[in-house]
Amino acid sequence: MRPLETPVQPGLRLRLRRRSAPTGDAVRFLRALAGEPRGFWGRGDHWEAWGGVAARIELSGPGGSPERFAQIRERARSLAAPEGSRWFGGFSFLDTNPGPRPLADDRWEAFPSASFILPRVVLRSGSSGFTLTECVHEGEAEGRLEGLLRLLRAKGGDGVRVMPGLAPPSLSGIQVTDPDALARWRRAVTRVLTEAASGGVQKAVMARILDVRMPGAVDSLRALELLRSENGQAHVFYVEPRPGRILLGAAPEVLTRIRDGWFEATAVAGSVARGTTPAEDEARARELLASEKDRMEHRLTVDEMREVLAPRLRGLSVDSGPRVLRLARIQHLETVLKGRVPEGEDVLSLVEALHPTPAVCGRPRSRALELIREVEPFDRGWYAGPVGWFDGRGEGDFVPALRSAVGGGRTWRLFAGAGIVPGSDAEAEWAETALKFEPALVALDAGVRRG
């Protein structure tokens, strides 16, 4: 298959070809694009699978740049992408290099400070059915639409459909090597609680990693299928900028969404496990809503998001109180924020203003970031950074890259975090992060071809 990549150059003339698609088999579509950059983005029945490169914009080099959001916007504008096209990608959590880390490795090598791709081909599922689009050079005769349409019309499935299995992963055959992890976690939580007691920080989100070697090579698209089927209420993302270099996950919250001039985001903080029966599930939800610690942690996130958004939006509305967001394995407190987007603001400017929220960093932001750099012995890379898409109208959709794993083949690194506030217990927060590992770990386990 010829590479579907076009060098970035100002004044590049591109146009879109669009056709209705007969089905929405995202995995079959993505498998046809093996060897090319490819990805997936969506929630429930509204999703987009993409592959190939019509244009690419990246910010790399040591540590990125604090102006990276504006730089990405300006470079995208200089390319004049066709109306209706979208740039897919994301940003690292930090805008500067975290420096040498004891547990750093090369897993984030394919994920620079900021990277966005204007895909050659996109399969989209929405309320009006399935659409296949191709971004081509002006005057280009040959395209991929007809071949992909024939593929989607062909009978038979991809052969990787998997049914959700909500039992916790047994880790049978999965090698986990980090004997110091719990002790290191206890030290991190103690450090944050000490800082909180002195008034230096109200909350800091500490992350931990789980390095795994699977019993066999993971079919990443099979893992994606499980991630989608089991996490219908989450925002599922899959980014493969280079063959075999993959980031996948299922985020519970929306960092920034803009459609038709309207903004929406969700504050998600405070957690409890799902119950094993409907009655237990309801009891745990009531317990979460009544928890002073969880409500305080949640309120810190809502308050900061309100402070950031109030001067930037018209008519900002914030839910009067949190509701319970139920995911496959965990329940969260959730508050929705909405408003009108004035002239001069767009999805990237609002992502820049909000990131990182107290849900993934802490409050106050500057001191929480200092603690993260001081305490965490690994590079977060794109973990908890904004991933999603934007277009030429300033609209888009971004979530923090949570409940995620980065890697390829048999070796993967999983990330999970917990908000540490006064009253937090290291063992309880450890158990919460273990629960947050499960979506990605179960998906990776399902992706291993056995027998």
Q: Which residues are catalytic?
A: 203, 253
All residues at 6 or more sequence positions from 381 whose CB lies less than 8 Å from its CB, including other chains: 92, 93, 107, 108, 111, 406
The first and second tokens of residue 440, run together, are 């990605």
- Neighbouring C-beta atoms of residue 109, cutoff 10 Å: 11
| C-alpha angle 363-367-370 in degrees, rounded to nearest 5 | 130
Helix ranges restricted to H, 206-320: 220-230, 278-290, 292-309
**Phi, psi dihedral angles at 111 (to 5 degrees):** -125, 85
The gap between the terminal CA atoms of the chain, to the nearest Å, is 30
- Please compute Rg for the chain using Cα positions: 21
DSSP 11-72: T--EEEEEEEES---HHHHHHTTTTS-EEEEEETTEEEEEESBSEEEEE-STT--TTHHHHH
**Phi, psi dihedral angles at 263 (to 5 degrees):** -105, 145
**Phi, psi dihedral angles at 131 (to 5 degrees):** -130, 140
Distance CA 193, CA 451 (A): 48
All residues at 6 or more sequence positions from 263 whose CB lies less than 8 Å from its CB, including other chains: 256, 257, 309, 313, 337, 338, 339, 340, 341, 350
For residue 176, the cross-strand partners are: 212
Distance CA 421, CA 324 (A): 20
What's the gap between Cα 74 and its chain centre?
A: 23
Residue 134 in contact with residue 145, Cβ under 8 Å?
A: yes
